[in-house]
Amino acid sequence: MTDSTNVPGGTPAGGVAVTDEAAQMLRRLVGENGPLMFHQSGGCCDGSSPMCYPQGEYRLGQRDVHLGDLPIGEGYDPVPVYISGEQYEVWRHTELTIDLVPGRGAGFSLEGPTGYRFLTRSDVCRTD
């Protein structure tokens, strides 16, 4: 696992943020599951949705990049966000925001049964 500020030949990622609605859901999920983490991949099976797991239940690969940590509220540990190395190369100059929208959650992501799903929104950052 690599930190986005120390990617060989790379520059730091644009960053990662969280909406109030997503932070509220994350607080609920922390209460039910303990500390959490996100992984954003580009694979076909998860539809490139951010997947929310209990910390330690998703095995990070050597090429995964730590984008940052989401502050979800006072008294809660920040939620780390990781991205596959391949996706990092595509989104390296993009500000990513984890949002929450109505709908069916992705496969193994913890919000699945709630009637909502996490969604990654992006905004290209300036590079100059």
Q: Write out pLDDT tens, residues 8-44.
A: 444 444 689 999 999 999 999 999 999 999 998 775 4
**Residue 104, both tokens:** 């069916």
Give the predicted TM-score (pTM) of the model.
0.83
Closest CA to 58 of 41, 38, 88, 72: 38
Over the stretch 84-123, which tens digit does the pLDDT of each residue have? Answer: 998 888 888 888 999 999 998 667 899 989 999 999 998 7
Q: Which helix (H) or strand (E) holds 65?
A: strand 65-70
pLDDT of residue 10: 41
CATH of 2-124, one of 2.60.300, 1.20.140, 1.20.5, 2.60.40: 2.60.300
Confidence check: pLDDT of 46 > 70: no
B/e letters for 95-108, b = 16+ CB within 10 Å, e = fewer, are ebbbbbeeeebbee
> What average pLDDT does this structure show over 73-87?
94
Structure confidence at residue 11 (pLDDT): 40
